[in-house]
């Protein structure tokens, strides 16, 4: 995915330095692009719900990173994972309703899976640091 920048030496000065946040932002852009042609009668339904859930993923990463404690960050990362699962469910439904072609659906779901693994890794790392 393009638009990523690596942090040298593992130093994180901002949520923008987190690769998982960068990937999640790119994924949200892809969700927005994929839902643009969806039926207009879904504008306030599935389209809106999916976009809100997708946007919640990087938003909660950012908010949690800005909090004062690791425990708070972990809580926001858990919310981010929940929003990601919600968005995946809505993408699957979009595919079942014929709004997404299989290739587009698979690409978005693969991206979500990658972000989920990255979140799980970050959560594990932070939990280890707490002990």
Q: Tens of pLDDT along the chain (131 residues)?
A: 344 444 444 566 799 999 999 999 999 999 999 999 999 999 999 999 999 999 999 999 999 999 989 999 999 999 999 999 999 999 999 999 999 999 999 999 999 999 999 999 999 999 998 87
Q: What is the pLDDT of residue 97?
A: 96
Q: What is the CA radius of gyration of the chain?
A: 15
Q: What is the pLDDT of residue 2?
A: 43
- What is the value of pTM for the model shown? 0.90
Delimit the domains of the chain by residue range.
15-130
CATH topology of domain 15-130: de novo design (two linked rop proteins) (1.20.1440)
Give 33's contacts (C-beta < 8 A, 6+ positions apart): none
């Amino acid at each position: 995915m393009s638009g990523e920048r690596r942090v040298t030496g593992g130093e994180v000065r901002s949520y923008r330095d987190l690769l998982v946040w960068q990937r999640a932002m790119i994924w949200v852009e892809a969700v927005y692009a994929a839902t643009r042609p969806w039926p207009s009668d879904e504008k306030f339904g599935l389209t809106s719900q999916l976009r809100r859930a997708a946007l919640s993923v990087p938003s909660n990463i950012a908010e949690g990173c800005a909090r004062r404690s690791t425990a708070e960050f972990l809580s926001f990362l858990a919310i981010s994972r929940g929003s990601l699962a919600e968005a995946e469910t809505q993408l699957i439904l979009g595919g079942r309703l014929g709004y997404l072609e299989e290739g587009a659906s698979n690409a978005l779901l693969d991206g979500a899976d990658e972000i989920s693994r990255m979140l799980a890794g970050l959560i594990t790392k932070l939990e280890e640091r707490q002990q």
